[in-house]
Amino acid sequence: MRGLMEPTLGRILIVDDDVDVLQAARLLLRRHAEHVRTIKRPEEIPELLSEETFDLVLLDMNFTRDVSSGREGFFWLERILDIDPSAVVVMITAFGGVETAVQAIKAGATDFVLKPWQNEKLVATLSSAQKLRVARSEAEALRHRSRTLSSDLSQPYREFVGQSEPMNRVFEQIEKVARTDANVLILGENGTGKELVARALHRQSGRAENVFVSVDMGAVSETLFESELFGHRRGAFTDAREDRVGRFEVASGGTLFLDEIGNLSSPLQAKLLTVLQQRHIVRLGENRPIPIDVRLICATNRPIRGMVAAGTFRQDLLYRINTVEIHLPPLRERLEDIGPLAEHFLGLFRRKYNRNVVGISREALDRLHLYHWPGNVRELEHMVERAVIMTDSNQLQAGDFFFASGHDDRASTAGAMPLDSFNLEDVEKTVIRKAIDRHGGNISKAASELGLTRASLYRRMEKYGI
């Protein structure tokens, strides 16, 4: 009964010009293997290996043109290893000896079997060869995982800087969620630090000793999606010149961060959902499922619920990825963090560029607080870096900060307006903007501070395009 004996040998290719040998091997091994393919002509090997993946190859050493020397067998062994360097090949022959066996092993064969074989011994030999195949695959995945981990550790990790109420709420969520294996969806505008949240979740989790793998889904093309995430075998497509371990496999045991997941097309969403449901991947060019164990963290700057309502993002996929949601506030809603963040970046870039810049002037900080920050924390970081490089003073001044022009919105106007402007409309617009920012977009609190009703504040906001 099949349920009592699950196949353990995977997919086997048998190459021999003797029909009786092929028949006997097929009858024996089909009880132990997932699939058995037999061919008489070794000339079919290259085309067959380009179309199918085999875990084991059982290869005769002597064909009709060469009945005893083994030269043909060595030739086809070399061809197989050229096509698939990780192939596991067991040689078989009726004309064997110790010297021939040693030659075969040196040439790249995994083992050597004499005809006529003993059934138990043949199955045991192939079982050992199969274990070697699995070990090689695991070692390759481990090498990829090690390289990824080394790359991750070589990047300077910058802890969060923030003391505002919105950021304190984020810190509390991270502490609650990190030690679970719950899938997390991080929402926030570009530049708010979504990957920093993902790394913080990983480093405070039970998977912290394992790898953190980050994938920018916005940079992965439709054609390379499966290869990038699931991996491929050599020859699986035109440019697949070597085996590749996919990001899911590399991240197994650790954390996989899929950034900009809202950019996925509907077909790619379906493929991702299938993997999350089945918890295994299949490399391109293979049929064997590979179990994966990842903690999934996703992020997007897009209105993902609106996308679900519009039918451009699958609701069932959203349910899979957002066991917990963390919303990152934009910088304009955490104005009290601007000073500490600017000082933090100043320290980083002062050391990086060896500049004697010891602080930021009050006027410069005031101007930073008036800006709308469309690029959020990332924009502030770049702005401080440029200021440290370009300043002629040992303290950053307002004139050292370059505010991007061309923003046709309230932010650019507020940021560019001199603090001593006497244009009443400009002053009123700036004060309203600052009050709204100070209260994190809470119109009732902003109106109360300004001495206005909510209706009056809304009228002025409409007037000034706020």
Domain boundary among 296, 329, 362: 329
Mark whether 372 and 308 lie in a shared domain: no
Closest CA to 338 of 431, 420, 415, 394: 415
Strand, coil or helix: 394 = coil
Q: Tell me whether residue 74 is exposed, middle or buried, using C-beta atoms within 10 angstroms of its C-beta: 0 to 12, 13 to 18, 19 or more.
A: buried
CATH number of the domain bearing residue 238: 3.40.50.300
Domain span including residue 302: 156-329
Domain boundary among 102, 134, 166: 134
Mark whether 176 and 323 lie in a shared domain: yes
Q: Which two tokens stand for residue 86?
A: 């990780």
The pTM for the full model equals 0.59
Mark whether 276 and 403 lie in a shared domain: no
Domain presence at residue 436? yes
Mean per-residue pLDDT pooled into runs of 10, the chain (466 residues):
54 88 88 88 87 84 62 85 83 69 78 83 85 72 59 50 90 94 95 93 91 90 88 74 84 94 94 94 86 95 93 96 95 94 93 92 91 92 94 91 56 42 69 78 79 78 75
Domain presence at residue 309? yes
Domain presence at residue 365? yes
d(CA 280, CA 290): 5
Q: Are 415 and 367 in contact (CB under 8 A)?
A: yes
Domain presence at residue 192? yes
Query: Which parts of 195-242 are beta strand (E)?
Result: 212-216, 231-232
Please count the structural domains in the chain.
3
Q: Which two tokens stand for residue 290?
A: 């590979």
Domain boundary among 104, 134, 164: 134
CATH number of the domain bearing residue 390: 1.10.8.60
d(CA 362, CA 368): 10
Angle at 329 between CA 254 and CA 332, to 5 degrees: 145
d(CA 456, CA 212): 50
Q: Are 83 and 234 in contact (CB under 8 A)?
A: yes
d(CA 325, CA 398): 38
Mark whether 317 and 258 lie in a shared domain: yes
Angle at 206 between CA 204 and CA 209, to 5 degrees: 85
Mark whether 447 and 355 lie in a shared domain: yes
CB count within 10 Å of CB 3 equals 5
Strand, coil or helix: 82 = helix
Reported as a single tens digit per residue, the pLDDT across 33-54 is 888 999 988 899 888 887 777 8
Mark whether 274 and 394 lie in a shared domain: no
Mark whether 185 and 312 lie in a shared domain: yes
Q: What is the pLDDT of residue 462?
A: 73
Sign of the torsion formed by the C-alpha atoms of 100, 101, 106 and 112 = positive
> How is residue 213 annotated by DSSP?
E
Mark whether 170 and 317 lie in a shared domain: yes
Domain presence at residue 145? no
Mark whether 316 and 350 lie in a shared domain: no
d(CA 112, CA 125): 9
Domain presence at residue 148? no
Mark whether 312 and 377 lie in a shared domain: no
Reported as a single tens digit per residue, the pLDDT across 13-25 is 999 888 888 888 8
CB count within 10 Å of CB 289 equals 12
Peptide bond into 116 cis (omega under 30): yes
Count of alpha carbons within 13 Å of 128, Cβ hemisphere only?
11
